[in-house]
Amino acid sequence: MPRIALVTCRPGPEVSVDRDLPVLVGALREAGAEASAVFWDDPDADWSSFDLAVIRSTWDYSWRADEFTAWAAKCGESTRLANPVDVIRWNTDKRYLGDLAAAGVPTVSTRYLAPGETAGLPDDHEYVIKPTSGAGARFAARYTPDEHDTAVRQLARMHAEGFTAMIQPYVRNIDVSGERALQFFGGRLLHASRKGAVLSPGTPYDERKVAHPGLEPWQPTPAELAVAEHALSAMPGAPDLLYARVDLVDGEDGEPRVMELELVEPNLFLSLHTESVARVVEAVLAAAAP
């Protein structure tokens, strides 16, 4: 009977509820595993007592990124961690988009501004500012050139809190074709979903957003699947992944581009794709096997 920890975070006013977690715990138990949900920062957790720890909904990690990666390293020394700690370190900092772009993966154009760095903001198109360590559109906002002063204040606040900022053009096709999330599990496409635009004009960067508006099932196109697989194959070291989510948007040319590559704690949207639960359980059990 494999012992499996599904790693999550403590409830809080700014943390979404993982509605898939009890479903997955129950399904693993029905399949013969000894499964439990464990807080990643529980000081009493004995990670060595588990055959596998699967990071599922540690949705507060971006507030405590250094602490979280230190935990991942410690956990990875005690048991098998999915995804592996090297993947976690790489993916918790969205500067990984630069690595993907350098490898030829179509990505959304991105500039980075670390604390102490300054650069001109776009003056001829809408743009987005967000942190390189973030989740659920936290500290993300959409600006027009006329909102320059507000954008500068956001940058100052982020830099004061130690965040590196990302500046991206606002991809207008999100308002037309949405954002598609291609979910992989056990090395295979699991399912795909589409959601609407998250960032509305005028929404303050420090206001909580609806992370997945209008979520619906989606059948990925061959072009979308090709870009997603390219992104996964371009990762440094070609690591073994239990799970991955590739978020895509259409560029000005109508072709898909990677918005984000989620390898730490992607929402699986199992409540929308109930048929995928059995495949996730199968892959988790295989990963827990000696």
CA 11 to chain centre: 19
Question: Up-side HSE of residue 15: CA atoms within 13 Å toward CB?
Answer: 16
Q: What is the pTM of this model?
A: 0.93
With residue 80 as reference, give the H or E element that holds it. strand 80-82
Taken as a whole, the chain contains a residue count of 290
Q: How far apart are the first and last CA of the chain?
A: 11
Taking alpha carbons only, the member of 58, 53, 56 closest to residue 3 is 53
| Domains along the sequence of the chain with CATH | 3-83+284-288 (3.40.50.20), 96-263 (3.30.470.20)
At residue 153, what is the residue type? R
How does pLDDT run along the chain (290 residues), one tens digit per residue? 999 999 999 998 778 899 999 999 999 999 999 999 999 999 999 999 999 999 999 999 988 889 999 999 999 999 999 999 999 999 999 999 999 999 999 999 999 999 988 778 999 999 999 999 876 667 889 999 999 999 999 999 989 988 899 999 999 999 999 999 999 999 999 999 999 988 877 777 777 767 788 999 999 999 999 999 999 999 988 788 999 999 999 999 999 999 999 999 999 999 999 999 999 999 999 999 98
Taking alpha carbons only, the member of 262, 284, 243 closest to residue 90 is 262
The 3-state DSSP class for residue 90 equals helix
